[in-house]
Amino acid sequence: MSARDVGEGTDASRQWVVQLAESLEASGRAGAVVSAAFLAVPRHLFLPQVEVGEAYRDTAIVVKSDAEGLPVSASTQPAMMAIMLEQLGLAAGQRVLEVGAGTGYNAAVMAQLVGDSGSVVTIDVESDLVVQARANLAAAQCHGVTVICGDGADGAPDFAPFDRIIVTAGAWDVAPQWLAQLGDGGRIVLPLSVRGIQLSAAFSRGGTGAWVSGSARRCQFIRMTGGSSGPESVVPLGPQPGLHALVADGPAPEAGPLYEALSGPVTEESAGLRVGGMAELVDLDLWLALTEPGLTRVNLMGRHEGRASTAQQRIADLLPLGGYTRVGSSGQLQVAALAVPRGPAEHGSLAVAISGYGAGSGALAGYLAERATVWNALGRPGAASLKLSAYPTGTVPQTHEGAMIIRRPNVALVAGWPAN
């Protein structure tokens, strides 16, 4: 499929396609080559259930939910697609595996990037999504993609080796099959859960036996199902169906005390510093997650369908970046999180504050505010300078100065900001 094919559609749809591609390039998320690939693929053909204009919003669009209303699959936000495709570094003639077919849209864009001499294989565990992805690709006249049904954790050995692998669902571990199916000079890009924070990481083989990430960007994907799904705890909060707390690492707090704390009074502690915007605030959150192993990190998940009660909506708004919990000396659960300013930035900057939720949580909020001043003194380390490596199990050194070791069944993740 070419840009000319898109042009044969309606003038309105062509206008939307052009606007999306140009906005991705103007934002710096997509270079000229990736932007041209977006220009050649009409997203609305992969989202037949939504209005054409809605299909071109820069947002993720849920295409399947489970019985409780929690999302199972979504069409990835185009900006995040562009970021990951730049991380992937596709070139003409390459063989690509995508884990998580979804609507087929990302595979179609990648088919543009690898051209007729390359190939794209995309796999999904949901058989109905496979059928729909095939239909969408046919409607878009994209013939360079093979869609198969299976557990993405197994990869696609019949089509290996691959030059590139991209995972488009949140992974808790790195499946050994993925690494084994990458050829020499191969690279894998995946949204990896690191202490409950998803980072889009681009791993290549390092010289020490580890897979080393050359870049990391914060992201948010629906969690994988199948062999690479994690043992994260999902704690229902309040009346159901409704909110859930997702706990990726650390002991899961009890549902009752957590709901009670989030329903209680809010205490705010100032860190006495300002940041240039949300990007720096997100970096502070990442630094806290990787330097406070004694705290449990929680994220909130809501239903995709149905109306939340006023109480549920209030709680859902409390932890947009996630939060931290611990049990205080009195045995009471403490919950705190970075406070996200609701109004516009003042003189181009935002004040940093920590919110504590429920009685007794002011102590945790104050502690995290003190830690924020340490982050500031260290030069505000964040995702751009994060060192992230994945060692096959049993090969990682016992300690890594300046980094946290997060052990998974298949790899040990070493993440942090070493002094050297």
Asked whether residue 204 falls in the same domain as residue 237, the answer is no
Banded pLDDT at 1 (limits 50, 70, 90): very low
Same domain, yes or no: 187 and 325: no
163 with 213, same domain: the answer is yes
Query: pTM for this structure?
Result: 0.87
CATH number, domain at 114?
3.40.50.150
Given 13, 23, 35, 73, the catalytic residue: 73
Q: Is the pLDDT of residue 264 over 80?
A: yes
Residues 263 and 189 in one domain: no
Instruction: Give 130-146 pLDDT, tens digit per residue.
Output: 999 999 999 999 988 99
Asked if residue 246 and residue 142 are part of one domain, the reply reads no
User: What pLDDT is attached to residue 143?
Assistant: 87
pLDDT tens per residue, range 91-105: 999 999 999 999 999
- Per-residue confidence at 343, pLDDT binned at 50, 70, 90? low
Bond into 239 cis (ω within 30): no
9 within domain boundaries? no
Q: Are residues 176 and 299 located together in one domain of the fold? A: no
Domain that holds residue 314: 233-274+290-377
In a domain, 29, yes or no: no
Contact call for residues 391 and 412 (beta carbons, < 8 A): yes
241 and 162 belong to one structural domain: no
**Is 264:206 a contact under the CB 8 Å cutoff?**
no
> What is the Cα–Cα distance from 64 to 259, expressed in whole angstroms?
27
73 is catalytic: yes
Please state the domain count of the chain.
2
Q: How many of the other CB atoms lie within 10 Å of CB of 395? A: 11
Q: How far apart are CA 188 and CA 201, in angstroms?
A: 8
The runs of H, that is alpha helices, within 89-215 are 105-114, 127-139, 176-180
Asked whether 42 and 140 are in contact (CB, 8 A), the reply is: yes
What number is the average pLDDT over the span 201-216? 88
